[in-house]
Chains A and B, each alone.
Chain A
């Protein structure tokens, strides 16, 4: 007799993965009754679509009919493109195996000379397509079984109960090694921690015990710190060394080979070279590597579950990809729901334009130069998700801009004249509107009285996740690879935003404010008359109604400092710090916010800020200067004494190019050589961390010491760190008249000696540099 459960779903669909046989997908369903996870394999080979002239399609169908990689071809008609107004001939091609999908698509594309055919849905994965074709999504509450599995509520449901996931931390320790060191190539595993259990013993027994423990505690999520680059590959490597095969050793709920599903790679994003570790599959079980996830830290599981539901991407994918990938997947989901398919290669090149038009169109948002100095009585106003709201309100989407159906449309981008369609809602607004509604609903729910702390934390994570996705929605309009993006959308959004700020300036002045600073969607205003302070909430409400866009009141600053550029002394738009009347700092562009800052600088800044916390207005900030300088002197004295802990002196540097490509001998090059000598290779996009020992040294062993090789006996370069400190003090306190040169003089640091360049006559002196290994 089974005990009765309250009404609700039978369970949750956790994930859909591709099966090893290449012809099926595997559904992983977690039972609500006993929490066990059931595996169901279903045959599924989705087709992709090809359009082109009918005669060419018929010829193609004939040629593919006998192709061994093709299971089926069928000629029909449809409107696969977002721009299609009338049906046209479409050939559906079903690959013989799912992994052969892309290769077959490339063959088709080549047969058409890369111009005849347009291909659709090629790079959507079978699990993604299965979700969309069957009304399913990750973490859906489900009823039924097999092919008749149905979601009991739509993915867009705002108030949902997430499935209870079992999380377990996984951590591998090598025999006699500390974490953070360079592991020896044959390092044996001494202990493994899984959740509450710590396993030890001879290696092979330990690995077998790990498999047993995984079966016993059966976690849904493995949480690691660096698992993609260390723990997982090391487990597989040692399992293989012990002679275990996939039959005996598996970390997922299914046996798979020990190799990575994706190799490590280097890529570029927003001008930065980044590194992504390899990815080892654990089918049926999620592996989240906090070090390899852009989103995990901000959104945690609650936010990721939300993103997976909306994008129909596996949690495993969401956690390793950028928010832009999630947004693109959401667009794809909406497109397929409209009966539109996803073009494989974007076939909408930018049209040619006159140069002056291009200059006029290709402009960003409005960014003022703030007045350098300390200010008080400053009010801050921000538009929430301004760009997404503009896209929705103005119906901005690739297919709705300059449409043929609405030549008289009054919705026109200011200054550019691009028209928006009045007849149909574009794909981008369709995708964004529910996200905006969702974010607002979560924010409203957060304000509910008596909200449980746990629920509040969950909502905050979902809000953050959505924020990231909404931010990328704009950037992707101008990205060359964005499937549904169009550069004119990008330009139109900026044009509307610029117009908005321009219209707000006189409105703010009429309300009694003076505009101090503004960046794209934020304004810093000060009352013109200190005795007549306008009501900021009323102003925000009035402007929201006037412009039909949500302007929010962020708060009043007791004081705010706008910082100058070192090069020209004028204000830098995004470099400031201030203290709100509600007792919170806002810091932008100063050292402590940067990832490469040393602990020393972070410590210095936090001490300066805690002194400044007592100031209630600009005059009090200025009056604190002697105390701030005294604090700086104190820290400088300790640095000079040579006993600052070296861990707080670690400088991080992200390598922007392959180690062999450096031509000058920098601190980073010295660090790379040290790592190389110790048997640890780093690629472009990875981070090196080191302590400066002797900056003027041309020996890679003496110049720096990498974090992995620190032993505590290092004597750091005091002048170099005093210089770092002085530079940061100048950044923070320049508006109070502090400059680097006089600080250094005060601390008795001689001007830094000129260092001979690497390629110099003294090159002979660089005897310790290995010859021929780059440089």
Chain B
């Protein structure tokens, strides 16, 4: 089945291959764990990003990562309080 444009999920995975290079030079376990959170966040809202159909891939990825992070912050009030 030929399709001209890659799906958002395909484009995302393609872009994330580049991120692997970024991750290779992270030096502490904490940084690597943090990077995994970002990676998961990028994938979490694929349905919503597909629905928007933005030509700007990075916009969709950023929205997904930020929403994921905001949701995590919201779910852990203790952490949020301690940073105030």
Q: Which residues of A are interface residues toward B (Cβ below 8 A)? A: 270-271, 355-356, 358-364, 366-369, 415, 475, 478-480, 498, 502, 518, 568-570
Contact = CB atoms under 8 A, between A and B. Distances in A.
Given A271-B1, A355-B55, A570-B44, 17 more contacts: A270-B1, A356-B55, A360-B55, A361-B53, A362-B3, A362-B5, A363-B7, A363-B8, A364-B50, A366-B51, A367-B47, A369-B44, A369-B47, A475-B1, A478-B3, A502-B51, A570-B43
B40 A359 contact: no
Interface string B43-65: 11011001101110000000000
B29 interface: no
A509 B50 CA distance: 22
A364 B44 contact: no
A271 B43 CA distance: 24
Contact of A366 (B3, B40, B50): B50
Given A568-B40, A570-B44, A359 B5 contact: yes
When A and B form their complex, which 5 residue pairs have the shortest distance between CB atoms, in order from nearest?
A356-B55, A360-B53, A368-B47, A362-B5, A359-B55
B65 to A, nearest CB: 13
Interface string B1-38: 11111011000000000000000000000000000000
A474 to B, nearest CB: 12
**Size category, B interface:** 10 to 19
A480 B3 CA distance: 10
Contacts of B8: 363
A478 B4 CA distance: 11
Contacts of A364: 7, 50
A478 B54 CA distance: 22
A413 B42 CA distance: 29
Given A270-B1, A356-B55, A479-B1, A363 B50 contact: yes
A359 B54 CA distance: 7
B4 A362 contact: yes
A717 B35 CA distance: 40
9 contacts: A271-B1, A358-B4, A358-B5, A360-B55, A361-B53, A362-B3, A362-B4, A367-B47, A480-B2
B82 to A, nearest CB: 27
Nearest to A478: B1
B51 A359 contact: no
A366 B1 contact: no
A566 B74 CA distance: 27
Contacts of A569: 40
Nearest to A502: B51
Given A362-B5, A363-B7, A568-B39, A415 B44 contact: no
A363 B44 CA distance: 18
A271 B44 CA distance: 26
Nearest to B9: A367
Contacts of A367: 46-47, 50
B69 to A, nearest CB: 15
Contacts of A359: 5, 53-55
B59 to A, nearest CB: 12
Contacts of B46: 367, 369
In the complex, which of the residues B2, B5, B44 has the most CB atoms of chain A within 10 Å of its own CB atom? B5
Contacts of A360: 53, 55
Contacts of A368: 47
A213 B76 CA distance: 80
Contacts of B5: 355, 358-359, 362
A678 B46 CA distance: 50
Contacts of B53: 359-361, 363, 415
Contacts of A498: 51
Nearest to B46: A369
A360 to B, nearest CB: 4
